[in-house]
Amino acid sequence: MKYYLTTPIYYVNAAPHIGHAYTTIAADTIKRLKRIQGYDVILTTGTDEHGQKIERAAAAAGKSPSEFTDLISGEFRRQWEILGLGVDRFQRTTSPNHAAMVQELFRRCLDAGYVYKGTYTGQYCVFDELYVNDAKPGDSCPECGRPTETITEENFYFKLSAFQDKLIELYEKHPEFIQPETRRNEVLGFIQRGLKDISISRTTIKWGIPVPGEDKHVFYVWFDALMAYMSAVEHDKQWPADLHLIGKEIVRFHAIYWPAFLIAAGWPLPKRIFAHGWLLFENDKMSKSRGNIVRATPIQRVLGTDALRYFLLREVVFGQDGSFSYDALIARYNADLANGLGNLAARTLAMINQYRGGVIPASDGDPQIAQAAKEITGFALDCFEKLDFSKALEAIFTLIAAVDKFIVEHAPWKLAKGGDAGVKELDDTLYTSAEALRLVTALLAPVMPDAAAKIWAQLGFSSTIDDIRAGDLHWGHLKRGQKLGPVEGVFPRAVAKESIDKMRELEAEEVTRQRALLGQPAEPAAPDAPASAAPALAPIREDVSQISIDDFAKVDLRVGIVKDAARVKGADKLLHLHVDIGEPEPRSIVAGIALAYKPEDLVGRKVVIVANLAPRKLRGLESQGMIVAASREGDVPVLAGFHEDVPIGAKLK
C-alpha cells in the first residue's frame, strides 16, 4: 500500500524559517506514522522558483535568476537535511521534467476545451503579478500598494467558471477533501458567490515556463506550481496524492484551482487537503517588516530537533493558529520532556540496572497500567489519524504520569531492600515501567525520532525505530531477559535564561548568514529588538523608472489639517476625512487608514495630501485627493508628518 503526501513547494524569495519547518516537520511526522501502519510512504517537497519577484530578488542579489534560485533552493534542501526530515523527492519548478508536465497539463486542458485565448486591458501589479480588477489607471495595487500599470495583453484563460457545480459536488461527496471544516466552509462560501475564469499565462514575465507554441507567454504561477505535486512522482507513478499538507493562506488554490485543473485534464484528484494555521511569534504575526521571524536551526542546536518537533505539534492545535515563544518552548521542554519522558526513562532504566543487573525481569505487568496503556494507545492513534497531534501527545503523556505514580506507589527501592518477599512485586513493577516506557517510546517515535531511537537502544532493542509497526503497539511485547543498552539521559533539563540567550544569539547569526545569502546587507536587529529599531525593509525596486524634476513637479503635495474624520459605513479600512489645505472648502478625502488610526485621533492633525489627483468615488463618497502614508509589507500605514510646525496649504517640493 502506498501513501503519498506533500508539503507545499516553498517560494524561494525568502530563506527557510520556522514556518516552513512547521509544515515539513508535520509532514515528516505523518510519514513516520503511516510507515508504522505499514504503508510505503512517499513524501515530497520542493521549491517554487518562477516569477517576477524572483527575477527581481535575483537582480538585487547581483545574480542571474537561475544562480539565485539554485542557491535558495539548495538552502531549503539543506534545511530539511539538517533537521533530519525524511524527504523522498525534492521537486524544483525549474527542472525540465516539471516544465514538460505543466505543458502537458496545458495541452490537455486546451484539448478538452477548458482553455481559450482572451484579451485583458486593465491594471496590473507587476510586483504581485496580479490583475487588479475594477481598478483605474493610476490606482495602486490592493496587495502591496505599489502603483499598477495599464496593460493590454493577450492571455490564455482557464474556464474556472465551468467548475462551480463540479467542485461543490466534490466537496459534498468527499467532506474530507478539504480540512479542517472551517476551511471547507470558507471555500464553499467562496464558490457559491460564483467563479470567474482565470488567466493562466503572462506576457509581462520572462522567468517562467513557456506556453507551447506561444513564445511570448509563460505560465501563471499557480498553473505552474501546483503541477509540482505530479511532476515529483512522475517516474514512479505515485499520483494521486493521499494528502496535501498546506498552510491556510493557500487553501483557495489547492481546493479550487487544483481540482479544477485536474478534472479538466482528466487526471485523478488528490484525496485530502489539510490546511494548518499560522505560527505566530508571541501572538504577533511573524513578518519581515516586524523582524520577528524565527528560524528552526537555532532551536535545534540548543534543545535538539525533537524539542522543536514536540513543541510545535504539542503546543499548537493542528489546523489552528498557534504561538511560538521561547518561554513556552522552554516550559514545554522542561515539564514534559525533561521531567516527564526523560526522567521516566532515566529512573526506570536505572532501577533495572541496579536491582536486576540490567535485565528485563519476567512479568505480565500490572493489569491496570496495561489497561490504561491499551486505552491511551487506541485514543492516541485515533487522534494521530485525524492529524490532531496535540491531543494525541497530551494523551500519551498521561500514561507517563500514570506510570510515575505507579512507581511511587510500589516503591521499588523499598522492595529491593525487603528480601525475598518483594521479589515478585519488584519484578512486576520494573517490568510494568519498562514496558510502558517501550510503548510510549514507540508511540512518540514519529514525533520525536531522535529521542525515541536513543531510548529504544537503551531498552536493549537491536532493531531501529523505523522497524516499529502497528503490531508492536500492544502491551507485553517487551521480552523477559532482554539486556539493556548503555543508559544516558535523553532530555537534560534546560536552564531557561541560558538556553534562551543562546538561541537568540544563534538566531542573530543565522539571520546574518541568510541575509548574506540573499545578497542583503547585514541587519543587526534581533528578533526581540525594540520597535524603534529599523525593520528589514523590502529592497527598493531596481526597475523603478527614473523621472525628471518636471515629472515630480506635476505632483502637488500640500500640507493640510484634518477637520473631521469618520468611519465609512461598510468598509473596515476606510476613513472619510475633511482636510483643510487653505482652500475655501475643506477637501473630502477617503483614505484606507482606518486600521491604523481612530477618527478622533486624527482631528487637528497635520497631514500631507496629493492635491491634484483626479477625484474618485469610493463607497459612494468622493475622494478629492490622497493622504500620504508610509506602508510596510503586511503592516498598517503610518501617516507622513512634520517635526516643526508647518502652515496649512504649504507645498512640498
Partner RNA sequence: GCCGGCGUAGCUCAGUGGUUAGAGCGACGGUCUCAUAAUCCGUAGGUCGUAGGUUCGACUCCUACCGCCGGCACCA
Measured from the CB of residue 182, what is the shortest distance to RNA in angstroms?
Answer: 6
The residue from 185, 192, 368, 612 that contacts RNA (CB under 7 A) is 185
**Under 8 Å between Cβ of 276 and 24:** no
Residues numbered 251 to 310 that lie near RNA (CB under 7 A) are 252, 285
Residues numbered 586 to 615 that lie near RNA (CB under 7 A) are 590-593, 613
Measured from the CB of residue 272, what is the shortest distance to RNA in angstroms?
Answer: 20
Asked if residue 249 binds RNA (CB under 7 A), the reply is yes
Q: Which of 28/315 has CB closer to RNA?
A: 315
Q: Which of 466/622 has CB closer to RNA?
A: 622
Name the pairing type of β-strands 621-623 and 616-618. Answer: antiparallel
The residue from 39, 120, 190, 267 that contacts RNA (CB under 7 A) is 190
| Block residue for cell numbers 495583453 | 153
Asked if residue 401 binds RNA (CB under 7 A), the reply is yes
Residues numbered 538 to 577 that lie near RNA (CB under 7 A) are 569-574
What are the beta bridge partners of residue 630? 638
CB burial class (10 A; 0-12, 13-18, 19+) of residue 252? middle
Measured from the CB of residue 353, what is the shortest distance to RNA in angstroms?
Answer: 8
**Under 8 Å between Cβ of 422 and 429:** no
Q: Which of 572/585 has CB closer to RNA?
A: 572
Q: How many CB atoms lie within 10 A of CB 133?
A: 10
- Judged by CB under 7 A, the stretch of 114-122, 180-188, 440-448, 557-565 that binds RNA is 180-188
The amino acid that residue 594 corresponds to is: A
Q: Where are the beta strands (DSSP E) in 184-257?
A: 198-199, 201-202, 210-211, 214-219, 243-247
Asked if residue 515 binds RNA (CB under 7 A), the reply is no
Helix (H) or strand (E) holding 580: strand 575-580
Residues numbered 305 to 324 that lie near RNA (CB under 7 A) are 315, 317, 321
**Under 8 Å between Cβ of 590 and 578:** no
What are the helix (H) ranges across 386-420? 389-410, 412-415
Q: Return the half-sphere exposure (C-beta side, CA atoms, 13 A cut-off) of residue 379.
A: 17
What are the beta bridge partners of residue 442? none
Q: Which of 185/464 has CB closer to RNA?
A: 185
Q: Which of 416/517 has CB closer to RNA?
A: 416
Measured from the CB of residue 457, what is the shortest distance to RNA in angstroms?
Answer: 14
Measured from the CB of residue 615, what is the shortest distance to RNA in angstroms?
Answer: 9
- Judged by CB under 7 A, the stretch of 496-504, 551-559, 584-592, 598-606 that binds RNA is 584-592
What proportions of the chain, in percent to the nearest 5, are helix, strand and coil? Answer: 45, 20, 35
Q: Which of 109/396 has CB closer to RNA?
A: 396
Q: Which of 508/629 has CB closer to RNA?
A: 629
**Under 8 Å between Cβ of 241 and 6:** yes
- Judged by CB under 7 A, the stretch of 35-43, 302-310, 401-409, 540-548 that binds RNA is 401-409
Residues numbered 31 to 70 that lie near RNA (CB under 7 A) are none
Residues numbered 107 to 166 that lie near RNA (CB under 7 A) are 132, 134-136, 138-140, 142-143, 145, 148
Q: Return the sign of the alpha-carbon dihedral for residues 233, 238, 239, 240.
A: negative
Residues numbered 326 to 355 that lie near RNA (CB under 7 A) are 331, 334-335, 338-343, 345-347, 350-351, 354
Count residues contacting RNA (CB under 7 A)? 71
Q: Which of 72/346 has CB closer to RNA?
A: 346
Asked if residue 361 binds RNA (CB under 7 A), the reply is no
Nearest to 224 by CA among 47, 50, 64, 67: 50
Q: What is the DSSP letter of 46?
A: E
Q: Which of 103/325 has CB closer to RNA?
A: 325
- Judged by CB under 7 A, the stretch of 159-167, 172-180, 206-214, 489-497 that binds RNA is 489-497
Q: Which of 113/492 has CB closer to RNA?
A: 492
Q: Which of 207/491 has CB closer to RNA?
A: 491
Helix (H) or strand (E) holding 557: strand 557-567
Measured from the CB of residue 124, what is the shortest distance to RNA in angstroms?
Answer: 12
The residue from 1, 119, 408, 653 that contacts RNA (CB under 7 A) is 408
Q: Which of 107/285 has CB closer to RNA?
A: 285
The amino acid that residue 453 corresponds to is: A
Nearest to 298 by CA among 508, 457, 102: 508
- Judged by CB under 7 A, the stretch of 186-194, 234-242, 375-383, 638-646 that binds RNA is 186-194
Pairwise CA distance, residues 315 & 324, whole Å = 8
Note the residue count of the chain.
653
Q: Which of 105/141 has CB closer to RNA?
A: 141
**Under 8 Å between Cβ of 19 and 247:** yes
What are the helix (H) ranges across 271-360? 296-303, 305-315, 326-332, 343-356
Nearest to 158 by CA among 97, 207, 112, 225: 112
The residue from 480, 598, 619, 651 that contacts RNA (CB under 7 A) is 619
- Largest Cα–Cα distance of the chain, in whole Å? 105
Measured from the CB of residue 284, what is the shortest distance to RNA in angstroms?
Answer: 9
Q: Which of 341/602 has CB closer to RNA?
A: 341
Residues numbered 194 to 223 that lie near RNA (CB under 7 A) are none
Which region holds residue 387: left if phi is over 0, alpha if psi is between -120 and 50, else beta? Answer: left
Measured from the CB of residue 630, what is the shortest distance to RNA in angstroms?
Answer: 13
| 52-88 exposure pattern, b = at least 16 Cβ within 10 A, e = fewer | bbbbbbbbbbebebeebbbbbbebbbebbeebebbbb
Q: Which of 80/310 has CB closer to RNA?
A: 310
Asked if residue 623 binds RNA (CB under 7 A), the reply is yes
**Under 8 Å between Cβ of 310 and 28:** no
- Judged by CB under 7 A, the stretch of 51-59, 491-499, 501-509, 545-553 that binds RNA is 491-499
Measured from the CB of residue 564, what is the shortest distance to RNA in angstroms?
Answer: 18
The residue from 113, 118, 266, 492 that contacts RNA (CB under 7 A) is 492
Pairwise CA distance, residues 211 & 218, whole Å = 5
- Judged by CB under 7 A, the stretch of 16-24, 157-165, 361-369, 412-420 that binds RNA is 412-420
> 270: cis peptide before it, omega within 30°?
no
